[in-house]
Amino acid sequence: MSRYYDFFCPVKLMAGEQALEQLAGELAGLGARKPLLLTDKGVSGTGLATLLAGVLAEGELPVAAIWDEIPADSSTAVVERIAARYRELGCDSLVALGGGSVIDTAKAVNILASMGGTRLLDYAGAGCLTRPLQPLAVVPTTAGTGSEVTLVAVIKDEASGRKVPFTSPFLLPQLAVLDPRLTQGLPLNITAATAMDAMTHAIEAFIGNAKNPVSDALALMAVEKIANALPQVLSNPQDKRLRLQLAEGSTLAGMAFSNSMVGLVHALGHSLGARCHLPHGLCMNLFLPTVLDYNRPGIDPELARLLLPLVGAERFAATPAAARPQAAIEALQALRDTLWQAVKLPRTLREAGVTDKALLPEIRDLAINDGALLYNRKDADRTQLLGLLELAWE
């Protein structure tokens, strides 16, 4: 851990039952009078966009319009179209209702809406934003990305097809709403995948070389909430208490990794997802235990501490100190087995439908250039990365 660290997260959270009803007053308090509501067709089709628009109207903050044409893999062209509509309507604020793609799109729209211009790529990279942006409220409908508390947006360049990062503290939303009603209808396979994404955020923040005491505390609580709620929600998907626990776990993990970064699981997962078009959470679940084992024994003290939130006090106390690092990995493997049995969330590349082993060197070549490797506790070269991919094969 570095001898110096800083921690930054100015997002105001509104969490729990009836949290949604607090949004209008809080957003109006930031000066919003005419928000544009952004979502996608899937969320809109569930009626959640209409619900949110109605709640805002009851709070005397009617939306100017609902834009629900955000794709799963949003692009610069989509952002630029929405920004143009935002200006046409005379909007002064944004509300994002959805998962990671919707939230990242809203952050990017806010860049153009606030900074001016029509070309999003003019603001790509870090440090290109020079002042606060217009009010942005985020209402997540999944519990995994943590995007509601991160300072990054990733948008595909329509021309080249590459993923372009936008990074600035000004991208952080002002408000985030965690209301269990918003995730009760989330299919269980997506619930499992997004929860394991959040679990990976928390664990990699906790074991990485940019960890700090504040992110550690958040990461440990995130692991506890997710490990406790995820197996139970599989048989009780409408339980508001469990849904809120998963949402809280995701947000806590987002706060942690936004300040302490992620590592090798994400480097491999980003590359597998890009090459084979697999969902991000699925990729995280697939690589997590393998990468933890690779990082041993350097992370054994952290793994030993992770055992307590993973399995609870009784099993932790019954496990000899020397056995706790391995027991933590085995607890995660057992959780993955539970998810495979319940919703068929893949544990291996074969189970994920990757049938051509010749793809592994291509995935390796992408991973070796992923910036997340910089924050992993243990270095990995091309041979080691290929070895990890082969271990994850079956």
**2 domain residue, yes or no:** no
Give the separation between CA 92 and CA 36, rounded to whole angstroms: 8
Assign 290 to helix, strand or coil: helix
Order across the sheet with 125-126: list the strands: 125-126, 163-167, 152-156
User: What's residue 73's pLDDT?
Assistant: 83
Is the same domain home to 95 and 204? no
Closest CA to 173 of 7, 11, 8: 11
Closest CA to 108 of 96, 120, 118: 120
Closest CA to 289 of 252, 335, 355: 335
Give the separation between CA 174 and CA 135, rounded to whole angstroms: 6
Q: Which residues pair with 176 in a beta bridge?
A: 13, 138
**220 domain residue, yes or no:** yes
Is the same domain home to 237 and 207? yes
Regarding beta strands 175-178 and 136-140, do their DSSP bridges make them parallel or antiparallel, or are they unpaired? parallel
Tokens of 128: 């290109």
| Residue 82 φ then ψ, to 5° | -65, -40
**359 domain residue, yes or no:** yes
Is the same domain home to 124 and 256? no
Is the same domain home to 178 and 202? no
**64 domain residue, yes or no:** yes
Taking only Cα atoms into account, the Rg of the chain, rounded to an integer number of angstroms, comes to 20
User: What's residue 155's pLDDT?
Assistant: 92
Domain count, the chain: 2
Tens digit of each residue's pLDDT (9 = 90 or more) over 276-329: 989 999 999 999 999 999 999 999 999 999 999 999 999 999 999 999 999 999
What are the Cα distances from residue 206, in Å, to 199, 259, 316?
Answer: 11, 11, 18
**5 domain residue, yes or no:** no
- Structural domain of residue 54, as residue ranges? 12-182
Is the same domain home to 343 and 361? yes
Please list the rounded mean pLDDT of every run of 10 residues in the chain (394 residues). Answer: 86 96 98 98 95 97 98 93 98 97 97 96 93 98 95 89 89 98 95 97 97 97 98 97 98 97 95 91 97 98 98 98 98 98 98 95 94 95 98 93
Is the same domain home to 43 and 57? yes
Give the amino acid at 300. Answer: D
CATH of the domain at 200: 1.20.1090.10
Is the same domain home to 373 and 286? yes
Last residue of a domain, one of 154, 182, 210: 182
Give the separation between CA 152 and CA 223, rounded to whole angstroms: 22
Give the separation between CA 49 and CA 31, rounded to whole angstroms: 22
- The answer to whether the beta carbons of residues 14 and 178 sit under 8 Å apart is yes
Tokens of 226: 């997710």
The torsion of the CA quartet 25, 30, 32, 38, rounded to 10 degrees, works out to -90
Is the same domain home to 246 and 351? yes
Q: State the residue for tokens 């990082």.
A: 295
User: What's residue 274's pLDDT?
Assistant: 86
**379 domain residue, yes or no:** yes
Tens digit of each residue's pLDDT (9 = 90 or more) over 345-379: 999 999 999 999 999 999 999 999 998 999 999 99
User: What's residue 1's pLDDT?
Assistant: 56
Is the same domain home to 88 and 55? yes
**3 domain residue, yes or no:** no
Is the same domain home to 227 and 125? no
Last residue of a domain, one of 152, 182, 212: 182
CATH of the domain at 144: 3.40.50.1970
Cis omega (within 30 of 0) for bond into 231: no
Is the same domain home to 214 and 168? no
User: What's residue 146's pLDDT?
Assistant: 95
- For 231-249, letters b (16+ CB in 10 Å) and e give bebbeebeeeebbbbbbbb
Last residue of a domain, one of 132, 155, 182: 182
Is the same domain home to 149 and 236? no
**239 domain residue, yes or no:** yes
